[in-house]
Amino acid sequence: MPVDFGLVGAPSAARIVVAMSGGVDSSVAAALASQTGAEVIGVTLQLYDHGEAVKRTGSCCAGQDIYDAKMVADRLGIAHYVLDYESRFRTGVIDRFADEYAMGRTPVPCSLCNQGVKFTDLIAFARELGADCLATGHYVRRVVNGDRVELHKGADPSRDQSYFLYWTTAEQLDFLRFPVGDLPKPEVRRLAAEAGLEVAAKPDSQDICFVPDGDYAGLVKKLRPETAAPGEIVAQDGRVLGEHAGVVHFTVGQRRGIDVGGQAEPLYVVKIEPETRRLVVGPRRALAVSAMRIDELNWLGEQQSAVGAKVRSMAPPVAARIAGDWALFDKPEYGVAPGQAAVFYDGSRLLGGGWIAETVAAEDAEPVALRAMA
């Protein structure tokens, strides 16, 4: 299945670097690159201590995955390099993940990883190798529209990864290629099997890659012990309702784990106050948000006033208006938490996004709207 990599000149004179995580998606990206006739070089990132990594499966950039990437490269007859980025990954992703939890925020480590080691550093390395482009296994589409290059959602909505790539710049997008973005997952697996790749039936990675057993709280407690200190559970009016075993166990919007009985309706985490170790809880309607302030806003496309806003990776975009560094929802939205990414779309096209710095409850939206538009 030929894929157009947008190479200038004869493919035989071109060089494509492929980011290979050891999974089926990036392996098929490498196979499709090989079919162009260009020189292909696979690069895999070592992001963990090797002694720990070799015990890990079901995640990217772990010991078994590095071995799988090498086996695929050997099968395809391409060069393969492993880069040790453990220190960069720890400071740029793992430590920041723990810090966000310690501040009562809900982190999105996949966005941090993509805008750091997986794009910025890999692109720099690929350029050093004299590559014409860097290809990855992300389920997104790079669309050339006249003199503009756009980033669109992946063709398979169940696999779309555009939410995590909002920090991509126009310069990076010029250099990036996403050869599986137009394909559904079953077709990717079929192509892998057809090419004789050992990873054709390999399970997809689960949870956050650097949390071996899905125990996020355990990792954060190890790195930031203060997050495990007990504190009060309080109602929105300040009444003490009970005690929790550490803010590390909670995120905004969570219902599970709030052990407070005798309430008229279920309680949810409305706010986390790490300084006082207080957990503020309330009914579901208290989670309704009408506005959010965005930090580090990046526009890949042109800034628009009316956008589709996505505040969770699997949530559908909802109508919103941009006013400065504020995004105002047309209707109250639930599941919006500081620390998450807010990503903006025009249809399937990714416009940009940033980090949610603060949110405003639905009943307080009008003053914020007026202040933001002043």
Question: Do residues 79 and 42 lie in contact, with contact meaning Cβ atoms separated by under 8 Å?
Answer: yes
d(CA 187, CA 193): 10
Residue 359: enclosing H or E segment and its boundaries? strand 349-361
Phi/psi for 187 (5° steps) reads -70, -35
- For residue 178, the tally of other CB atoms under 10 A from its CB is 24
CA 12 to chain centre: 34
**Is residue 208 scored above 80 in pLDDT?**
no
Q: Spot the catalytic one: 60, 61, 110, 113.
A: 113
- Concerning whether 113 is annotated as a catalytic residue, the answer is yes
Summary mean pLDDT of the chain: 88
Residue 339 DSSP SS3: coil
Query: 338 or 96, which is more confident?
Result: 338
Q: To 10 degrees, what angle do helices 24-34 and 63-76 make?
A: 20
Return the number of other C-beta atoms located less than 10 Å from residue 251's C-beta. 18
Q: 261: Cβ–Cβ under 8 A, 6 or more apart, which residues?
A: none
**pLDDT tens figures, 212-269:** 667 777 888 888 899 889 999 999 999 999 999 999 899 899 998 898 888 888 999 9
> What span, in angstroms and rounded, lies between the C-alpha atoms of 34 and 57?
27
Query: Could you give the CA distance from residue 7 to residue 217 in angstroms, rounded to a whole number?
Result: 46
Task: Give the span between the Cα atoms of 283 and 267, in whole angstroms.
Answer: 5
- Residue 68 token pair: 């799988």
Q: Which residue shows structure tokens 């309080």?
A: 234
Give the residue-averaged pLDDT of 161-170: 93
Contact partners, residue 366, CB within 8 Å, separation at least 6: none
Query: What is the band of 374 on the pLDDT scale with cuts at 50, 70, 90?
Result: very low
pLDDT at 50 over 50: no
Q: How many residues does the chain have?
A: 374
Question: pLDDT for 143-163, tens place per residue?
Answer: 999 989 999 999 999 999 999
Residues above pLDDT 70, as percent of the chain: 90
What are the beta bridge partners of residue 291? 328, 360
- Long-range (24+ apart) CB contacts under 8 A made by 237-244 are 241/267, 241/281, 244/279
Query: Can you tell me the distance from the alpha carbon of 330 to that of 97, in angstroms, rounded to the nearest whole number?
Result: 31
Q: Which residues contact 148 (CB under 8 A, 6 or more apart)?
A: none
- 3-class DSSP state for residue 358? strand
Which residues, other chains included, contact 111 with Cβ-Cβ below 8 Å and sequence gap of 6+?
163, 164, 165, 166, 167, 341
Task: Name the residue with tokens 């910025």.
Answer: 120
Phi, psi of 370 (to 5 degrees): -65, -40
pLDDT top residue among 184 and 110: 184
| pLDDT-wise least confident of 61-75, 89-103, 143-157 | 89-103
Placement of tokens 């390395």 in the chain: 125
Question: From CA 238, how far away is CA 121, in angstroms rounded?
Answer: 47
Give residue 45's pLDDT band: very low, low, confident or very high (50, 70, 90): confident
Show Cβ contacts of residue 143 under 8 Å, excluding neighbours closer than 6 positions.
149, 150, 151, 152, 349
Out of 60, 110, 133, 209, which one is annotated catalytic? 209
pTM of the entire structure? 0.89
**Is 209 part of the annotated catalytic residue set?**
yes
Residue 84 confidence (pLDDT): 84
Q: What is the mean pLDDT of residues 329-347?
A: 94
